[in-house]
Chain A
């Protein structure tokens, strides 16, 4: 049900959306890595920190844009529209794994159901909504989520287990990016 009518060509070429919402921004890259979280809520910042580290590693010509966002829900629609691939890096608290564990989800497995009292829309809903509106939404979504210990205390430090998970998480995201096959192959330069 993707709204993309054309999947060939370079990243800059995007079909016009018929939503009339407004014109989607033209993207200079295929892939968006979006780090989510709150920078001053301890472990909640882990997604932002991973993406910040990733930005240091990217070079001009890589078909990847890495961005931090402290927004959520519907507001994310504006960030992700127009990209073909989306990689989210976020914090999660499931209680089923020790802090620092890196969960990986496929975007299709996300429930598209009504979100509850927290004032936001789930990622699954946001994607479904964008497609319904005829916006060019990512065809593939991968989510990396670090199990966190404390996302409720105001502060800029990560707890030790989550701090230790930063680099391994970055490597997993990096490995994932390298697995994407891009014509120009910029990303595959490294043997890291």
Chain B
């Protein structure tokens, strides 16, 4: 009896050891696994060679809270704007609004207008960059064009050198406006609790009025170019509206008291996939409405609508998954507050067959429409007589404890939340960035693209390289943050695609970047 138990134990032990050794060998010989800077997509095939599941993992920043602890809250607009070289102004403004809340102080009217002016300038500039340089080339040059041509140089080849100069020149002038108030674009020093640090001198007004006028013209021209090149091509329209790039989820965006889009301030409104309002809340209430779900395969936190509960990666009227960003913002608003943007908004929904629009790739067009709104809003603000008022700041007098703030970053809703001791020293810091808000829908988009592309693939090594491009297009529309580091080289999305066969053995790997 004893020997039988002993034998069984030994056999089990040997099997466990062998499995451990095998696993260890697999891990240690693989240099790619050390590449945490890469986005990783794991695709699992079933025995028919169809995609059973596809998972995406993205590298994330670590240590935000630890880094913030013990620092004065007033440093947060500077610290958070340094986290990312892409959206410094969004973090700066979210942090500044969080300080308003922390010190329970309303900015002066002129201070608030300057903030909104700078913020819309940032959105216009950042959106223009995306349209012409980052996401747009897929459409303007064409999704089937050779990758070597799908870049800003290819865009200029298509729209003309003069137009290219207009893009680069306008963007530079917009950045000069941000630098006027903030010192530097990449690390603005502008926002203070209760207002801003610098007023607009009346003598500097004329050049910014001209810039605002040119900005509106530039945004409208961009819309014309986009419509001609993209909407004028039936193949593109077919791709945009195809099932592979469509998800029926909820949408979140910030609105004013008339449910009109606002990037800088307002309440967050969520609509369901039929366009019906699900909830509306302030920054202070965010924890009652937004919760985070964790999956074993990713260290990303997937946000969802708390009151609906986590229901897995599903779409439809009851889903708790929501999207943020340009498309989501248009869907979550009833209208836009400026006339030219409103006209474009109406054309958008007429063309796409009603509201809300669920086509992920329509995000690119939504971004162009937001450019028009941002430009018109800049013009409204710069022509407001109060914009040159020297009364730009109110000094806080209360004892701080907790603050929450939110803005619409170009990529979507951005929450900041801090707690401090009575001296204003940070004891807790949290943020939810746009990519976190979009994470669940991005995961669904990647899986959908993989399922659409790979069917009946018995031999995984036959999967074409083009898979990378099509999957990339699915998530590039969201412009996700893949950890804002080591970005300059080599200049492409660092991405690894692993394909596993139905026995969970790695059958094929594609690496880019």
Query: Bound state CA distance, A94 and B486, in angstroms?
Result: 10
Residues 96-108 of A, flagged 1 when their CB comes within 8 A of B and 0 if not, give 1000000001000
Q: Does B508 contact A (CB under 8 A)?
A: no
Query: Bound state CA distance, A155 and B485, in angstroms?
Result: 13
The interface centre, meaning the residue of A20, A94, A128 with most chain B CB atoms within 10 A of its CB, is A94
A132 touching B156 by the CB < 8 A rule?
yes
Tell me the residues in window 149-188 of chain A with beta carbons closer than 8 Å to chain B beta carbons: 151-155
Query: Bound state CA distance, A113 and B85, in angstroms?
Result: 21
B187 touching A117 by the CB < 8 A rule?
no
Known: A41-B485, A128-B153. A93 touches B37 (CB 8 A): yes
Q: Residues of B contacting A13 with CB < 8 Å?
A: none
- Contact stretch, chosen from B16-24, B190-198, B210-218, B472-480: B472-480
B486 touching A151 by the CB < 8 A rule?
yes
Query: Bound state CA distance, A154 and B482, in angstroms?
Result: 15
A125 touching B152 by the CB < 8 A rule?
yes
A118 touching B490 by the CB < 8 A rule?
no
B493 touching A118 by the CB < 8 A rule?
yes
Query: Bound state CA distance, A85 and B107, in angstroms?
Result: 47
Which range holds the interface residue count of chain B?
35 or more
- Contact stretch, chosen from B61-69, B223-231, B359-367, B420-428: B61-69
A40 touching B133 by the CB < 8 A rule?
no
A95 touching B153 by the CB < 8 A rule?
no
**Shortest CB–CB separation between residue B243 and chain A, in angstroms?**
22
Known: A71-B85, A133-B164, A153-B63. A117 touches B482 (CB 8 A): yes
Tell me the residues in window 23-61 of chain A with beta carbons closer than 8 Å to chain B beta carbons: 36-41, 44
**Shortest CB–CB separation between residue B485 and chain A, in angstroms?**
4
Tell me the residues in window 66-99 of chain A with beta carbons closer than 8 Å to chain B beta carbons: 69-78, 88, 90-96
Nearest-CB residue, chain B, relative to A41? B485
Q: Does A148 contact B (CB under 8 A)?
A: yes
Q: Does A65 contact B (CB under 8 A)?
A: no
Query: Bound state CA distance, A154 and B59, in angstroms?
Result: 13
Q: Does B74 contact A (CB under 8 A)?
A: no
Residue in contact with B475 in the complex, picked from A19, A72, A117, CB distance below 8 Å? A117
Nearest-CB residue, chain B, relative to A135? B168
B32 touching A92 by the CB < 8 A rule?
no
Q: Does B488 contact A (CB under 8 A)?
A: yes
A113 touching B492 by the CB < 8 A rule?
yes
Nearest-CB residue, chain A, relative to B484? A38
Query: Bound state CA distance, A39 and B138, in angstroms?
Result: 33
Q: Residues of A contacting B494 with CB < 8 Å?
A: 93
Q: Residues of B contacting A145 with CB < 8 Å?
A: 489
A95 touching B488 by the CB < 8 A rule?
no
Residue in contact with A120 in the complex, picked from B60, B67, B186, B487, CB distance below 8 Å? B487
Known: A151-B485, A154-B63. A132 touches B85 (CB 8 A): no
Residues 112-135 of A, flagged 1 when their CB comes within 8 A of B and 0 if not, give 111111111111110011001100
**Shortest CB–CB separation between residue A27 and chain B, in angstroms?**
18
Query: Bound state CA distance, A113 and B153, in angstroms?
Result: 9
Residue in contact with A75 in the complex, picked from B148, B185, B475, CB distance below 8 Å? B185
Query: Bound state CA distance, A41 and B85, in angstroms?
Result: 11
Q: Does A110 contact B (CB under 8 A)?
A: yes
Nearest-CB residue, chain A, relative to B150? A114
Q: Does A64 contact B (CB under 8 A)?
A: no
A20 touching B169 by the CB < 8 A rule?
yes
The interface centre, meaning the residue of B37, B67, B494 with most chain A CB atoms within 10 A of its CB, is B37
Q: Does B466 contact A (CB under 8 A)?
A: no
A19 touching B186 by the CB < 8 A rule?
no
A154 touching B83 by the CB < 8 A rule?
yes
The interface centre, meaning the residue of A36, A71, A124, A148 with most chain B CB atoms within 10 A of its CB, is A71
B492 touching A120 by the CB < 8 A rule?
no
Query: Bound state CA distance, A75 and B307, in angstroms?
Result: 42
Q: Residues of A contacting B175 with CB < 8 Å?
A: 75
Residue in contact with A123 in the complex, picked from B134, B150, B488, CB distance below 8 Å? B488
Query: Bound state CA distance, A90 and B490, in angstroms?
Result: 11
Residue in contact with B485 in the complex, picked from A74, A91, A112, CB distance below 8 Å? A91
B187 touching A133 by the CB < 8 A rule?
no
Q: Does B306 contact A (CB under 8 A)?
A: no
Q: Does A143 contact B (CB under 8 A)?
A: yes
Query: Bound state CA distance, A132 and B66, in angstroms?
Result: 45
Query: Bound state CA distance, A49 and B306, in angstroms?
Result: 44
Q: Residues of B contacting A116 with CB < 8 Å?
A: 472, 476, 492-493, 495, 512-513
A115 touching B486 by the CB < 8 A rule?
no
A132 touching B487 by the CB < 8 A rule?
no
A122 touching B492 by the CB < 8 A rule?
yes
Nearest-CB residue, chain A, relative to B130? A119
Query: Bound state CA distance, A75 and B184, in angstroms?
Result: 12
Residues 170-210 of B, flagged 1 when their CB comes within 8 A of A and 0 if not, give 01100100000000011100000000000000000000000
Q: Residues of B contacting A90 with CB < 8 Å?
A: 486, 488-489
B169 touching A21 by the CB < 8 A rule?
yes
Q: Does B509 contact A (CB under 8 A)?
A: no
Q: Does B412 contact A (CB under 8 A)?
A: no
Known: A113-B147, A124-B491, A152-B59. A19 touches B165 (CB 8 A): yes
Nearest-CB residue, chain B, relative to A92? B489
Q: Does B31 contact A (CB under 8 A)?
A: yes
B186 touching A154 by the CB < 8 A rule?
no
Q: Does B36 contact A (CB under 8 A)?
A: yes
B493 touching A111 by the CB < 8 A rule?
no
Q: Residues of B contacting A71 with CB < 8 Å?
A: 85, 185-186
Query: Bound state CA distance, A37 and B85, in angstroms?
Result: 9
Q: Residues of A contacting B239 with CB < 8 Å?
A: none
**Shortest CB–CB separation between residue A37 and chain B, in angstroms?**
8
Residue in contact with A88 in the complex, picked from B483, B488, B490, CB distance below 8 Å? B488
A153 touching B62 by the CB < 8 A rule?
yes
Q: Which 6 A-B pairs have the closest CB atoms?
A: A122-B491, A116-B493, A151-B485, A154-B67, A114-B150, A95-B35
Please name 13 further chain A to chain B contacts, defined as beta carbons within 8 Å, in addition to the given A22-B172, A93-B486, sorted by A numbering.
Answer: A19-B168, A40-B83, A74-B171, A95-B31, A95-B35, A112-B153, A113-B492, A114-B147, A116-B492, A117-B39, A122-B490, A128-B153, A155-B67
Q: Can you list 27 A-B contacts (CB < 8 A)?
A: A19-B165, A22-B169, A39-B82, A71-B85, A71-B186, A72-B85, A72-B487, A74-B152, A74-B171, A75-B85, A75-B186, A88-B488, A92-B489, A93-B494, A111-B491, A112-B153, A113-B492, A114-B150, A116-B492, A120-B134, A120-B487, A129-B164, A133-B168, A151-B485, A152-B37, A152-B483, A154-B83
